[in-house]
Amino acid sequence: MAASIVTRFAPSPTGFLHLGHAMSALFAWRRAREAGGRFLLRLEDIDAGRCRPDYAAAILEDLAWLGLDWDGEVRVQSEHMVEYRAVLEALSARGLLYPCFCTRAEIAREIAAIGHAPHGADGPLYPGTCRRLSADERATRIARGEAHALRLDTVAAMAATGPLTAEEEDEGTVAVDPASRFGDVVLARKDMPASYHLCVTHDDAVQGVTLVTRGHDLRPATHLHRLLQALMSWPVPRWHHHPLLTGADGKRLAKRDAALSLRALRAAGRSAAEVRALAGFPG
Ligand code: GLU
């Protein structure tokens, strides 16, 4: 018997849901329901500075209004920081993480001094400054209490796993190349003990997600997420990245497009069925 499909919708409570979120949620919900599988809801609220409890409550309310139901408890990431720390410790014990003391300004100066930096998914790649520090210097600076992030030594990590592939529903089997997309990506920020990439892959693994669905803006993340899964021996899902909804100006919707928030549409008298149709899911 084929294993049952498990999908999820994983918004961050940093604003009200808009039509683009509705599209993502409906996509994941429908894939699960059509296959008799499970649809999970997770709140990605690790960024304490940007997330708000009232937005979290509004997400649950808006999804229920839209007609979505989810299976089991809502997973709230901020309640699982101990688990993310354990992942960081496991990677660290294998020598795959290093402390990075650089400020943004120092990184920009270093890149300017080199003259160029390869561009990744989120901008110029980190030039590797702190990867070259000696163990003594790292220890001294940590002992002095200098704030530091933790970066993945991506080349060393890929060397540890060997070549990897991922299954993208639209593209088939794709080769995984996180180094050119993310370089030595930050897995724990100075001001935030775990990164989106770390938490999302850990949670998809513990929640048994078999099909990761999300907007095309997050397509590059597959490269890094597949690497983290291999390093941690987590089960490997398939991925589907759907197109993004765009506003009247042709730009993709963002939380700042207040008029297209589900709340605003509802207040303007739109029914849930109409909003589902606007998000691309009529009927
Ligand atoms: N929490 C992420 C966001 O809303 C999405 C995570 C994911 O689907 O992988 O931006």
**CATH number, domain with residue 235:** 3.40.50.620
119: in domain? no
Q: Single out the catalytic residue among 75, 255, 263, 266.
A: 255
Q: Tokens in use for 18?
A: 């808009």
Would the pLDDT of 2 be above 60? no
219: in domain? yes
CA of 8 to the centre of ligand 1 (A): 10
pTM (predicted TM-score): 0.94
Say whether 255 is catalytic.
yes
What tens digit of pLDDT does each residue of 205-226 get?
A: 999 999 999 999 999 999 999 9
**Which residue's alpha carbon is nearest to atom 2 within ligand 1?**
11
67: in domain? yes
Cα separation, 179 vs 152, in Å, equals 10
Sheet holding 165-168, edge to edge: 172-175, 165-168, 238-242, 211-215
Q: Which residues pair with 149 in a beta bridge?
A: 100
The domain tally of the chain equals 1
Burial 21-43 (b: 16+ CB within 10 A, else e): bbbbbbbbbebbeeeebbbbbbb
145: in domain? no
Domain that holds residue 162: 2-97+154-278
Would the pLDDT of 127 be above 90? yes
129: in domain? no
What tens digit of pLDDT does each residue of 78-115 get?
A: 999 999 999 999 999 999 999 999 999 999 999 999 88
Q: What is the 3-state secondary structure (H, E, C) of 11-73?
A: CCCCCCCEHHHHHHHHHHHHHHHHCCCEEEEEECCCCCCCCCHHHHHHHHHHHHHHCCCCCCC
Output the ligand 1 site: residues, CB below 6 A: 10-12, 44, 200, 214, 218
What tens digit of pLDDT does each residue of 128-160 get?
A: 999 999 999 999 999 999 999 999 999 999 999
120: in domain? no
CA of 63 to the centre of ligand 1 (A): 16
CA of 95 to the centre of ligand 1 (A): 28
195: in domain? yes
